[in-house]
């Protein structure tokens, strides 16, 4: 049975997620523990967990309509970027990954455009969903972003849009496909190609040069949930082909409370900053690791 917005209790997962197949509400049960163990094994082996048909068929059409309604609010940006979203380095060879730039054109609907009555925000803020994500990534308690723009985002890719090789700002990312393009838009990644102790530039250069030895590719479909270690795994989305947009919801969580993205990143991705970003510019901002981005 489809649950309407008016009937649905706040933060209820019933009807929004296939709880029979994925028992998020019973993680302490034998079925729940087995489910988490399977997810963690897949994450360890592949650097990624994909839960097919996470959203039941009854809710899928509503979910797609929701992101379609939000998609006109996407801010599009086109830029030439390297995998580190940084400037090039003239002291390094032209073939070095820091000096390898490619076109990035895509759109993002910021979190402050996504209301509390939407399916995706109800899922994002749901304590059971958060406990599930924490259990899978091995963190006792995860926290919603304190960043009002980047906490919950809809990525919109229209024809010709792509997201070239890059890393994510946070250690892990949770996404849900809600609409697939006619063609293209393929997710490819090199799991664990770097770590906090080293960038592994030589291997990154091989990937950029077309070496597919360590690459994995995913055939994501609407309703699929993905948990991915994007901070350490180089990844991309290939150019979208056709007039049907590709929509993906990004649920952003952090290990510690109070996480806010870099102000310059907010300006680039969303075309604006929130007051919290402006304050960070005044106070200065430091990262917890020493990676290139």
Task: Give the closest residue to 106 by CA, choosing from 230, 293, 268.
Answer: 268
Length of the chain as a residue count: 293
Walk me through the domains of the chain, giving residue ranges and CATH numbers.
48-283 (2.60.120.620)
Contact 151, 223 (CB under 8 A): no
How far apart, in whole angstroms, are the C-alpha atoms of residue 134 and residue 141? Answer: 6
Contact 158, 240 (CB under 8 A): yes
Given a cut of 90, is residue 217 above it in pLDDT? yes
In this predicted model, what pLDDT tens digit does every residue of 62-78 receive, in sequence order? 999 999 999 999 999 99
Contact 95, 205 (CB under 8 A): yes
Given a cut of 90, is residue 99 above it in pLDDT? yes
Q: Is 284 left (phi over 0), alpha (psi -120 to 50) or beta?
A: left
The confidence score (pLDDT) of residue 4 equals 42
Rounded to two decimals, what is the model's pTM?
0.87
Percentage of the chain with pLDDT > 90? 79
Encoding tokens for residue 9?
């209790």
The confidence score (pLDDT) of residue 286 equals 58
Mean pLDDT (the chain) is 91
In this predicted model, what pLDDT tens digit does every residue of 138-186 receive, in sequence order? 999 999 999 999 999 999 999 999 999 999 877 889 999 999 999 999 9
Place of tokens 């163990």: 37
């Amino acid at each position: 049975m489809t649950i309407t917005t008016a009937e649905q209790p706040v933060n209820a997962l019933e009807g929004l997620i296939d709880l029979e197949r994925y028992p998020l509400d019973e993680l302490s049960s034998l079925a729940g523990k087995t489910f988490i163990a399977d997810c963690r094994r897949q994450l360890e082996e592949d650097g990624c967990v994909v839960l097919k048909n996470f959203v039941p068929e009854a809710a899928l059409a509503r979910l797609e309509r929701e992101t379609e309604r939000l998609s006109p609010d996407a801010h599009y940006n086109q830029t030439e970027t390297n995998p580190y979203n940084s400037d090039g380095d003239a002291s390094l060879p032209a073939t070095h990954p820091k000096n390898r730039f490619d076109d990035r054109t895509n759109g993002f609907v910021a979190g402050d455009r996504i209301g509390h009555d939407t399916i995706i925000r109800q899922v994002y803020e749901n304590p059971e969903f958060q406990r599930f994500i924490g259990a899978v990534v091995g963190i006792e308690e995860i926290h919603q972003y304190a960043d009002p723009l980047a906490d919950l985002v809809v990525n919109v890719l229209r024809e010709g849009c792509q997201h070239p090789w890059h890393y994510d700002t946070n250690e892990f990312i949770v996404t849900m496909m809600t609409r697939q393009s006619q063609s293209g838009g393929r997710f490819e990644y090199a799991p664990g190609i770097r770590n906090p102790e080293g960038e592994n530039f030589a291997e990154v250069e091989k990937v950029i040069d077309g070496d597919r030895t360590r690459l994995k590719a995913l055939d994501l479909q609407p309703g699929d949930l993905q948990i991915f270690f994007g901070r350490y795994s180089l990844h991309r989305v290939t150019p979208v082909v056709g007039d049907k947009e590709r929509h993906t919801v990004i649920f952003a969580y952090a290990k510690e409370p109070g996480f806010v993205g870099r102000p310059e990143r907010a300006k680039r991705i969303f075309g604006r900053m929130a007051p919290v970003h402006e304050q960070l510019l005044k106070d200065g901002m430091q990262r917890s690791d020493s990676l290139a981005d």
